[in-house]
Chains A and B, each alone.
Chain A
Amino acid sequence: MDIFSISPQVLLGQLLLGLINGSLYAVLSLGLAIIFGLLNIVNFTHGAQYMLGAVLAWAGLNYLGMNYWLALIFAPLMVGAIGIIIERTMLRRLANVDHLYGLLLTFGLALIIEGLLVRMLGVTGQPYAGPPELKGGMNLGFMFLPYYRAWVVVASLAACLGAWLLIERTKIGAYLRASTENPNLLKAFGINVPLLVTLAYGFGAALAGFAGVLAAPLFQVSPLMGSNLIIVVFAVVVIGGMGSILGSIVTGLSMGLIEGLTKVVYPEASSTVVFVVMAIVLLVRPAGLFGKAA
């Protein structure tokens, strides 16, 4: 396990793979952070919403002939719309009780959504062909980079940047930030905060759906594809600090890179390294790297 004997090719290759995973983590944990900020709920349905994005893209292609690019728009919109219905009909009712109930509800919903889809589609993964426009790749010297993987990184980072600009630089973003901090005063200024909360949940869910469509050609599409990934994403959110937008983006990317690095240095630990980091961060800085101490 001599670090210096590792070839730079292998190292760079794994780091790049890590970056791809990391960019998906970033999009997913960003959505979780937005939802947590406004609803104070850890959205356990997030993994199912990610999976739903991928399944909708797959179903759209197979049953409606909907191509990838259309799926990239419509699947997140659908997942967002379903999220809005969930917020309006269920989460809304839990706004005034302990946040634990919201966690339990979203956890139950995830199990129901996954269970239903397992009944309909079975558990075997289905391949989803990516867009023909992004077939092939280029040789970077140290590795062969499929164009589609490069696109996943670019699209994820663009989504993160877009969401960050929306939140930090626009009026609606100022409402979102203010609502995270003191929703009652915002109501007293005349803002329909419940509507804002609904939209934020829909937006967070749509981001998960977007990540799902991006992931569909990378992994097999299956009803359970979200349940493994989401555990890592929760760890990312804890490391970054609950509710921190920038924190979740930066942490998502870095955890992907750290996983990649671990694959090179000590492959056996690559699937647990994020949880080790989480444990250390919790001990040293319980509010997370970017979180404000409560």
Chain B
Amino acid sequence: MQPELYASPDEDLRITDLHAFYGESHILHGIDISLCRGELVTLLGRNGAGRTTTLRAIMGLVSRRTGSIMVKGQETIAMPTHRIAHLGIGYCPEERGIYSSLSVEENLLLPPKVASGGLTVEQLYEMFPNLAERRNSRGTQLSGGEQQMLAMARILRTGADLLLLDEITEGLAPVIVERLGEVLTRLKGMGYTIVLVEQNFHFAAPLADRHYVVEHGHVVETVLKEELKAKTDLLNSYLSV
């Protein structure tokens, strides 16, 4: 699959030959990914494949990166992290990053607006009713599932329409995973562009337009939604431990 196939004016993200480093360790070895407005893609792969690093590299949170990362037509490879965010990106990190010195509501209101639009606090409390009840608790007094909802809600308020979501279902009960699936479906319907890092393929499969399989810092396979059935065995061979 050539990334050029997706070249179009409404391209939200185009990553070309991305290399990323933590100190001396060379982690990403030439990643190519692209997404159009409103698409949802997943990054699949085994533990340590480099999926989290890909998201961190997009945000400029690695020691060094080379190649090209175009966000809505703008080159960001040399931009400082806080400016990249203002291009309209919402980042939900793997460790969730709920601040313990802030209340639930302070966590929710923490990220500044990066674009117009965005859901209101009322809409978010309606989408995640648990958060409304716990709004005055310390952020880290929430359960794992509630913390995940808070981490999601937090970036939906800012007007960001390109979401980078890292393992949002990790370690959560099936009902909550189901709930997050509904939320993602709703967001996709609203036109959000989403990069989803997932281990849970059954969660990701029905949502995604396309899957990128990452291995040792390379994209080794791209599977379109239509090809899922035909390529199930191939995917399993890539993802089985």
Known pairs A174-B102, A177-B99, A181-B100; A190 contacts B59 (CB<8 A): no
How far is B110's CA from A274's CA once the two chains are assembled, in angstroms?
Answer: 39
- Quick one: CB contact mask for A231-245 with B, threshold 8 Å, 1 for yes? 000000000000000
The answer to whether A112 has its CB under 8 Å from any CB of chain B is: no
Near B by CB (< 8 A), chain A positions 175-212 give: 175, 177-178, 180-182, 184-193
Q: Would A187 and B61 be within 8 Å (CB), given that A177-B99, A177-B102, A180-B101 are in contact?
A: yes
B91 touches A188 (CB 8 A): yes
Contact B82 A187 (CB under 8 A): yes
Task: Across the interface, name the chain B residue whose C-beta is closest to A177.
Answer: B101
Q: Report A-chain residues with C-beta under 8 Å of the C-beta of B82.
A: 187-193
**Pairwise interchain contact B99-A181, C-beta atoms closer than 8 A:** yes
Whether A189 contacts B85 in the complex (CB less than 8 A), given A174-B110, A178-B110, A184-B61, comes out as yes
Please give, as numbers and ranges, the residues of chain A lying within 8 Å of B114 by CB-CB distance.
190
**SS of A interface (majority):** helix
Chain A residues with CB below 8 A from B158, complex form = 189-190
> Chain B residues near A188 (CB, 8 Å)?
59, 61, 81-82, 84-85, 91, 93
Residues in chain A near residue B86, CB distance under 8 A: 190
Output the residue of A185, A191, A192 with the most chain B CB within 10 A.
A185
Task: Give the distance in Å from the alpha carbon of A189 to the alpha carbon of B59 in the complex.
Answer: 9
| B111 touches A (CB below 8 Å) | yes
Q: B112 touching A174 by the CB < 8 A rule?
A: no
Least Cβ–Cβ distance between B92 and chain A, in angstroms = 10
Report Cα–Cα, A192/B81, bound state, in Å: 8
Q: Chain B 79-118, CB within 8 Å of chain A: the 1/0 string?
A: 0111111100001010001011110001001111010000
Q: In the complex, what distance in Å separates the CA atom of A187 from the CA atom of B85?
A: 8
Q: How far is the CB of A82 from chain B (nearest CB, A)?
A: 26
A193: B residues at CB distance < 8 A: 82
Nearest Cβ on chain B to A174's Cβ, whole angstroms: 5
Q: Are the C-beta atoms of A191 and B99 separated by less than 8 Å?
A: no
| Chain A residues whose C-beta falls within 8 Å of the C-beta of B110 in the assembled complex | 174-175, 178, 186, 189
**How far is it, in angstroms, between the C-alpha of A280 and the C-alpha of B226 when the chains are bound?**
69
What is the minimal beta-carbon distance from B10 to any residue of chain A, in angstroms? 23
Cβ-defined partner of A189 (8 Å) among B60, B101, B112: B112
**In chain B, what residue has the closest Cβ to A183?**
B81
- B106 neighbours in A (Cβ, 8 Å): 174
Picked from B59, B102, B112, the residue with its CB within 8 Å of the CB of A191 is: B112
- Chain B residue numbers with a CB within 8 Å of A186 are 110
- In the complex formed, the residue of A with least CB distance to B97 is A185
Chain B residues with Cβ under 8 A from A177's Cβ?
99, 101-102
Residues of chain A from 152 to 191 with CB closer than 8 A to chain B in the complex: 171, 174-175, 177-178, 180-182, 184-191
Contact of B111 among A181, A182, A189, A192 (CB under 8 A): A189
Which residues of chain B from 63 to 90 have any CB-CB distance to chain A below 8 Å in the complex?
Answer: 80-86
Q: Are A190 and B111 in contact (CB under 8 A)?
A: yes
How far apart are B146's CB and chain A's nearest CB, in angstroms? 18
CB distance from B170 to the nearest CB of A (A): 17
Max count, chain B CB within 10 A of own CB: residue among A175, A184, A187, A192: A187
Q: How far is the CA of A187 from the CA of B93 in the complex (A)?
A: 12
Q: Shortest Cβ distance from B59 into chain A, in angstroms?
A: 5
A178 adjacent to B102 (CB under 8 Å):
yes
When distances are taken between beta carbons in the complex, the residues of chain B under 8 Å from A171 are 109
Tell which of A175, A181, A186, A189 has the most Cβ of chain B within 10 Å.
A189
Pull 27 A–B residue pairs with CB atoms less than 8 Å apart, ordered by A.
Answer: A174-B110, A175-B110, A177-B101, A177-B102, A178-B99, A181-B101, A182-B99, A184-B61, A184-B81, A185-B91, A185-B97, A187-B59, A187-B60, A187-B61, A187-B81, A187-B82, A188-B85, A189-B82, A189-B110, A189-B111, A190-B83, A190-B86, A190-B114, A191-B82, A191-B112, A192-B82, A193-B82
Binding site for A on B (CB under 8 A): 59-61, 80-86, 91, 93, 97, 99-102, 106, 109-112, 114, 155, 158
Known pairs A174-B109, A175-B110 / 12 extra A-B pairs, C-beta < 8 Å: A174-B106, A174-B110, A177-B101, A181-B100, A187-B60, A187-B85, A189-B91, A190-B82, A190-B86, A190-B114, A191-B112, A193-B82
